Amino acid sequence: MTQVHEVAEFGRQMMENIGSVMVGKETATRMLLVALLSGGHVLVEDVPGVGKTMLARALAASIGGSFSRIQCTPDLLPSDITGLSVYDQRAGDFVFRPGPLMSQIVLADEINRATPRTQSSLLEAMGEGQVTVDGQTYRLEQPFLVMATQNPVEFEGTFPLPEAQLDRFFLSLSLGYPSVSQEKEVLYRLQERHPIEDVAPVTSPEQVRLLQQAITKVYVEESVAEYLVRLVQATRTHPQVQLGASPRGSLALFRAAQALAALEGRDYVLPDDVKQLAVPVLAHRLTLKADSILRGVQPAAVVRDLLRQVPVGAEELN
């Protein structure tokens, strides 16, 4: 129970610290903390200028971790992000020069502007926590989180992320535009200097790693696990869905529910935790049928529809 309280206190401090930079983004920040504690990666689909870079920078500064930003373009090569071996004349041998992917918090801005070859170079890092360059494997320092962004309204010259890579993202979120009062507060906060310059660490990467282990101990009662599985399985039979969520989606939803429960100071998961996380964890994993896409159906709407249809309590699974 003590560890759960430590997670809750960590969440409170992080929300307050990141909130000194980000105005009105509490929900997105909380989801980012869920992903961090779960060891997952985040896809942010939103228009430019709403604070995606600042959110990533504030997260890195708050945990005292290293940060790097990758501006994805069509001419970006895999070696530009993973690093490469160069010949050192003084040493008389090849020396590895790490790329920006070797940081702990990595912002891959406009990831869908990179070519499929470069996008795929992220798969090993995101899935295995390592990169391989010239046959040599390099472990990534933990915690490691990739926060990738893409513009949902500008598709010219882009390369849509394949299902395999979308499935690698733990959850997807959107920041959205601020309200009138929030935008006015942003103006005054930035009047003299950017508050990101004053953000100090409230924890350490070592402590984050301990808390990542702590959330795995959060209890998930069997009926809650069955509800979670039935919800994921329902995505595979929905009439508007061509390809439903994979078992990786079930695992992500399970772990995310544990993290959210711990952030709220509980050592057990509630069905409401699963409901709250279903859209950000599952929606981006769904591939809709062509006619549904033409009618403007959104994956998030399908998940919300399933949340209404799938009861919390039901008969045992076959």
Q: What is the pLDDT of residue 254?
A: 98
Structure token digits, residue 74: 């069509």
Q: What is the pLDDT of residue 154?
A: 67
Q: What is the pLDDT of residue 240?
A: 95
Decide which of 49 and 217 is more confident.
217
Q: What is the pLDDT of residue 311?
A: 94
The domain limits of the chain are 1-217, 218-312
Burial (CB < 10 A; 0-12, 13-18, 19+), residue 230, is: middle
What stretch of H or E contains 243? strand 241-243
Half-sphere exposure for 8 (CA within 13 Å, toward CB)? 12
pLDDT band at 46 (very low <50, low <70, confident <90, very high): confident
Identify the three-state secondary structure at position 206. Answer: helix
User: What is the CATH code for 218-312?
Assistant: 1.10.8.80
Burial (CB < 10 A; 0-12, 13-18, 19+), residue 289, is: middle
Question: How does pLDDT run across 79-113, given as a tens digit for each residue?
Answer: 999 988 888 888 788 888 899 999 999 999 999 89
Residues 143-159, mean pLDDT to the nearest whole number: 83
Average model confidence (pLDDT) across the chain: 91
Residues 152-170, mean pLDDT to the nearest whole number: 80
Q: Do domains 1-217 and 218-312 have the same CATH topology?
A: no
d(CA 7, CA 124) in angstroms, rounded, equals 29
Q: Does domain 1-217 have CATH number 1.20.120.1780?
A: no
Q: What is the pLDDT of residue 313?
A: 77
d(CA 223, CA 182) in angstroms, rounded, equals 41
Question: How does pLDDT run across 232-272, given as a tens digit for each residue?
Answer: 999 999 999 999 999 999 999 999 999 999 999 999 999 99
What stretch of H or E contains 130? strand 130-133
Q: What is the pLDDT of residue 88?
A: 80
| Percent of the chain clearing pLDDT 90 (strictly above) | 69
Half-sphere exposure for 126 (CA within 13 Å, toward CB)? 25
Cα Rg of the chain (Å, integer): 20
